[in-house]
Chains A and B, each alone.
Chain A
Amino acid sequence: MNTELLNFTPLAVLIPFFGAGFAFAFYRNKSAQRAITVGALVLTVILEVTMLSQVWNGGAHAIHLAGWPAPFGIVMVIDRFAALMLVVSSIITLCVLLYAVGQGAAEEKDDSGPVSIFYPTYLILVAGVSNAFLAGDLFNLYVGFEIFLTASYVLLTLGGGESRIRAGVTYVVVSIVSSMLFLITIGMIYAATGTVNLADLALKLGDLDPSTQLTLHVMLLVAFGIKAAVFPLAFWLPDSYPTAPAPVTAVFAGLLTKVGIYAMIRTETLLFPGERINTALMIVAALTMIVGILGALAQADIKRMLSFTLISHIGYLVFGLALSSIIGMAATIYYVAHHITIQTTLFLVTGLIERRSGTSNVLRLGGLAKISPVLGLLFFIPAMNLAGIPPFSGFVGKLGMMQGGIAENTWITWTLVIASVLTSLLTLMAVARIWTRGFWRKPEDADETPERQLMSKTLAHSRAANKRYLPMSMVAPTATLVAMSLAFSVFAGPLMDFSRAAAQDMYERTPYLEAVFGPERTEGVREELEEFAATFLIDYELDDDGAADHAPVETSLQPDDEDAVVVPEIPDGDDQ
């Protein structure tokens, strides 16, 4: 591993920030602003892909900002998981930005929004998300959250409009309540341990009184749970997201909840590993899945429907992280990456549907598949992917989680497996309803008066209108994202191996600690940590290149094999 290159990691935060500054400076010149924003994001993507390739084969790297040693200074840590999240998120944000640029160009006439602040705010959002992914201490994580949340407040209420402001108020108030909780928890953690450095906390939190640990643990999870839209804390989401413009909703849906999930995963693996509240988390996960998808079934508006499926699929991620096994966590990591892509894509496609037909209300849609087959394809692939139909990546991720659940083999994990199958089927139903209504039936058959834009005299007329309504500059970024989601299934093998390595690192915690503190301090606790990790990890045979756990036929569904799988395998020292 070439660690020198990784020392440029903070640029992932700084480039968007500087880009934002310059974009502000050029607020009078829209094209310069656009060029700066796109350029900054392209640079960020290149940088982050380089970093991912650096950490692909080997562990974590910490950057001590300004050279202050670990528990005192600010640390940025990049490990496999963080690098993957960074790359996926910045590719997503770049595609959404290109889509927004396309939309802006297409809607030049009625361009009522103050575009001069859209680009810089968008870059600040990216910087905040990157900062949250890289944060090596709790307070920096809080700052990262605040940066992207403040940017998101602005993006959500951009352009005024009463309904948008009203939705924005809900979102802002809920977000600041969760931020307050997070800040209070940071204060409590600092009072209990005297540090906010994540690596230092990983070592110190274990010595606390179990009841104190539980309080801190639950408070952190509640604060992150509001941001991640986990079931009882998710009701703000479907009310606030759909009112924003399509690109903004897309990037919110894809990224913001996932940053909450990212923080939850860090909490569960680095700070409070163990099975203390796994059962509670699983119940929450099951409720999130079921309640979310039932809500989705009741919606007629595609955007609202997608917001509810977003909540529902957060349940899968919570399930995966509550499993406390390498296979479960590996599936979660894979699924996060998949879900960011797929949810963003679906919202972008919905934006296209809205442009083409003038509405996103499925009761007034019809005949889109005939009018624009491209649009049909762009919707069909991610929709099937969301439902988890086999060749697509959603299936791979869900399969991994179910494998983990079945391998753990308790009543609660079986309940969760059943709930996730059910949710998957209901998701299929929800998207199939949109497909049959919006795309397959004739516009004349719509439940309510169909939109005028759909009722052209001949097919040739409506095909001709496609060019006006669906400019290439908007279709191309969407198609790129669809292609990326397909790539997740094509490269599922290497990605799954990568996720497994990331999960192993995260549970063992030694690579992270070693990166932050250096080898001396870590050596003393290494054995203890490894023993601790081995007590609750379900590990798999790795001799057969992972065939046993990647090939569906070889799952532990057969009850006879179950013992062979559940027995934890204590890793030898050479493995590290």
Chain B
Amino acid sequence: MIDRIVLKNVIPQYLREKSLTALSSDVWGQDLVIERDKSYLILAESGRGKTSLCSFLYGTRQDFEGAIAWQDSEGQNVMATLPRTDIWKESISIMFQSMQLFPELSAVNNVLLKNALTDYRSEKVIRQQLSELGLATKLDTPVGQLSMGQQQRVAFVRLICQPADFCLLDEPISHLDMDNAHIMCDMLKEWQNEEHCGIIITSIGHTLPYPYDYTWNL
């Protein structure tokens, strides 16, 4: 179990030319601790490295300077000891900005594919969650035939279909209306209450209306 994510002077390699003063970031070049059961909003304009930050925190990219430690309660770096795929299916969940869904699979099957790893939810609950987000008639439609907004909702249901200590949402409502955003917020809150996970959400301005504990400018 990951208890906290500790960032020490982290800065993407492609931004290292810029001085920290010029960056004036709450995250890049700072020492931070991201805790469980808290929610964080990362605000930034395009090109400031939101997706890079999500990839660094998820552990898929290492092209940064400084250090990130995914510490358990004893301060051990979990990412260094466990296989990444075990951490991704048990401890860190992500909703990619590009969603990374499988276009040939239906909406339900995209979520079931993830669910097959941990058997976290029943198919009935998954169908119900997708329906609550307005996809009742699209459940068995291949995702490749859905709009970007519909795909974002499928990706969101997949995000909350696993146990997690931390969860990353990279611009989760960039193609969504506010009604669906509120439904999403409720579902996310309910899941956070179950998992007590830390939530990190990035946004360029169209922000998920969530009760954030911290708001950081990237």
| Chain A partners chain B | no
